[in-house]
């Protein structure tokens, strides 16, 4: 009887830890900045699900975002000609030492892939 209770408690603890890790890994949002060699770029992910990209402190493009665990999902993005994205994209993300890293899962928008995966993004 005691071993059955211990086994049940162990299973419960594993489930709680697994759920907590999955919930805690949702993308935190906020502002991330990078420099592309010519421009200061900022991405803001607000709590309402809006993402705005700024170039040299001026709003440049806009879209929406959502996350599930380690996957960041982005909508189509409105931007000046040559920089807009007609469809959404998905990225695996990680955040360590205030550095955001994104890896493409699926995205046909070359300019977004280039900027999201090719720059060093710093939180704050």
Q: What is the CATH number of the domain that holds 62?
A: 2.40.128
The model carries a pTM of 0.78
23-52 mean pLDDT:
91
Q: Is 113 domain-assigned? A: yes
3 state SS for 31-50 = EEEEECCCCEEEEEECCCCE
Q: Is 40 domain-assigned? A: yes
Q: Is 11 domain-assigned? A: no
Q: Compute the distance between CA of residue 124 and CA of residue 121 in angstroms, rounded to an integer.
A: 9
Q: Compute the distance between CA of residue 65 and CA of residue 29 in angstroms, rounded to an integer.
A: 9
Boundaries of domain holding 44: 27-123
Q: What is the pLDDT of residues 46-98, one digit of tens each?
A: 999 999 999 999 999 999 999 999 999 999 999 999 999 999 999 999 999 99
Tokens representing 93 are 């993300």
Q: Is 10 domain-assigned? A: no
Total domain count, the chain: 1
Give the whole-number percent of the chain exceeding pLDDT 70.
80
Cα→Cα distances 51→10, 16, 26, 64, 102, Å: 41, 32, 16, 5, 15
Q: Is 52 domain-assigned? A: yes
């Amino acid at each position: 009887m005691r071993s059955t209770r211990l086994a049940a408690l162990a299973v419960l603890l594993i489930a709680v830890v697994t759920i907590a890790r999955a919930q805690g890994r949702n993308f935190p949002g906020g502002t991330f900045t990078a420099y592309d060699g010519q421009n200061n770029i900022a991405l803001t992910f607000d709590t309402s699900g809006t993402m705005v990209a700024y170039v040299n402190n001026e709003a440049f493009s806009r879209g929406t975002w959502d996350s599930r665990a380690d996957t960041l999902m982005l909508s189509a993005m409105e931007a000046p000609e040559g920089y807009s994205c007609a469809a959404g994209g998905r990225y695996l993300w990680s955040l360590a030492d205030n550095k955001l890293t994104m890896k493409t899962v699926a995205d046909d928008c070359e300019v977004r892939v280039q900027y999201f995966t090719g720059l060093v993004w710093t939180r704050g």
